[in-house]
Structure 1
Amino acid sequence: MLSTFTTVFVAELGDKTQLATLLLSAQSGQPLLVFIGAAFALICSSLVGVLVGQWLSKILPPERLEQMAGVLMVGLGLWLGFQALQSLIQHSI
């Protein structure tokens, strides 16, 4: 449980979700409602991840899941890096 908390907590720091929550809280003036909504959204998205992970673990060996997760993370990193590069290029022109 501690490793899951630490992994998710660190992964969520400074991401788009946290920035969106910050902006929603500032705009709405109701930080408690924003917190409740954001917490519920994270719970729901985590539930989807847990259910899909459980289903995949029944049909794929652990090594294959690790490979797929690695490819997905590298792919997401490249995609986000490409988006950031495009944004920098557009803003510098």
Structure 2
Amino acid sequence: MLAIFLKTFGTVFIAELGDKTQLTCMGFAATDVTARIWIFLGSALALALSSAIAVYFGCQITQYVSPKKIKMIAGIVFIIFGLIYLKDAFFPISPLSPEL
């Protein structure tokens, strides 16, 4: 139990460092220093709730799809996103092309 807790804590902690959520909280705290505790509580509750939703749906989906297939699908999706970002980095949209 402790091992899975530490693995989850470490993964989420590292993933959230420098994330847009953290930068948003920093911005809120910089503009309203009197509300620091409320900013902390709001962001902590939001992260806890979004994590609870992810755990719930993760448990539900494993009733229909094996964890091995979920990991494979997640890996493929991350590779696709990575390729899209690389394409955008090397071949940015021309300012003359119509934007969506």
* TM-score, length basis structure 1: 0.79
For residues 1-93 of structure 1, what are the structure 2 equivalents within 5 Å? 1-29=5-33, 30-78=35-83, 82=88
Q: Report how many residues are paired.
A: 87
- The alpha-carbon deviation at position 71 of structure 1 amounts to 2.3
Whichever of the two has the greater Rg, that structure is 2
d(CA) in 2 for partners of 1:77 and 1:28?
Answer: 36
Structure 2 gaps of 5+ residues are 96-100
d(CA) in 2 for partners of 1:40 and 1:65?
Answer: 27
d(CA) in 2 for partners of 1:33 and 1:80?
Answer: 35
d(CA) in 2 for partners of 1:80 and 1:15?
Answer: 17
* TM-score, length basis structure 2: 0.74
Give the fraction of aligned pairs with identical amino acids, expressed as a percent.
34
Q: Is the helix fraction higher in 1 or 2?
A: 1
d(CA) in 2 for partners of 1:72 and 1:28?
Answer: 39
Structure 1 gaps of 5+ residues are none
d(CA) in 2 for partners of 1:32 and 1:76?
Answer: 36
Q: CA RMSD in A?
A: 2.3
d(CA) in 2 for partners of 1:79 and 1:31?
Answer: 38
d(CA) in 2 for partners of 1:58 and 1:43?
Answer: 23
